[in-house]
Amino acid sequence: MVKRYTAGARLYDVLSGEHLVYRAGRVAGIDALRLQRGDIVLDLGCGTGLNLPLLLERVGTEGHVIGLDRSSSMLAVASDRVRSHGWSNVSLLEADALLLNPAQITSIALREGGRSRFDAAFSSYAMSVFDDWMPAWALIRAVVRPGGRAGIVDMALPTGAAAVFAPLARLACAAGGADITARPWQALEREAADAEHTVLRGGHIHAVTGTLP
């Protein structure tokens, strides 16, 4: 899986179907996250940093975003994006979300924002790619403060009339190494009493946000 994102990192933004299909999910998820100016946010499996402009627009220059990804090639593209925009309130961390000690990222939240936990965590099209999303969910629970927000955007097979696109959706997920049956947002729905669930693109994209207890 690491190899897939190593070889494809420079082409990811062009070949991933971002504008035609997937941007709508990240926009809906980040909107529903209802971030506040000054928030410190974790972007788990941040890839090339496509969420960064949307997250930074909401947290402002007084907030901070920490992007974590296992692939150095994806992070190199994210780092170019940060440099070209001149963003000084983004930290990028190369780490495996499934093996990471939460203290490794909470220490960044403390250094950059003087807070021992994050105000929010967001993950788009990433947890279905992780070998197992449960430890990643445990990481989110460990690092987001009680009352903080979480957002998960991920993919499933289209349904109803859109089911005709199921073979295409399967192909896109297989190309990206995603498990289309993973449904990682279910953990958030179970734990957040106020979970909001938006379904887009005929059921292919699910954006779930909520407040953590």
Q: Assess contact for 106 and 143: CB atoms under 8 A.
A: yes
Structure token digits, residue 134: 């449960």
Question: For residue 48, what are the contacts with CB-CB under 8 A and spacing of at least 6?
Answer: 9, 12, 13, 74, 77, 78, 81
Nearest distance, CB of residue 2 and ligand SAM, angstroms: 7
Name 9's bridge partners: none
Instruction: Region of 75 please: left (phi>0), alpha (psi -120 to 50) or beta.
Output: alpha
Closer CB to ligand SAM, residue 74 or residue 156? 74
Answer for which of 76, 87, 96, 200 binds ligand SAM (CB under 6 A) is 96
By CB under 6 A, is residue 66 in contact with ligand SAM?
Answer: no
- Bridge-based pairing of strands 118-124 and 90-94 is unpaired
The distance from CA 97 to its chain's CA centroid, rounded to whole angstroms, is 12
Closer CB to ligand SAM, residue 125 or residue 165? 125
- 9-48 positions binding ligand SAM, by CB under 6 A: 26, 45-47
Which residue's beta carbon is nearest to the bound ligand SAM? Answer: 47
What string marks each residue from 149 to 188 as x (binds ligand SAM by CB under 6 A) or -?
A: ---------------------------x------------
By CB under 6 A, is residue 5 in contact with ligand SAM?
Answer: yes
Cα dihedral 43, 45, 47, 51 sign: negative
Nearest distance, CB of residue 202 and ligand SAM, angstroms: 19
Contact residues for ligand SAM, defined by CB under 6 A: 1, 5, 26, 45-47, 50-51, 69-71, 74, 96-98, 124-126, 129-130, 176
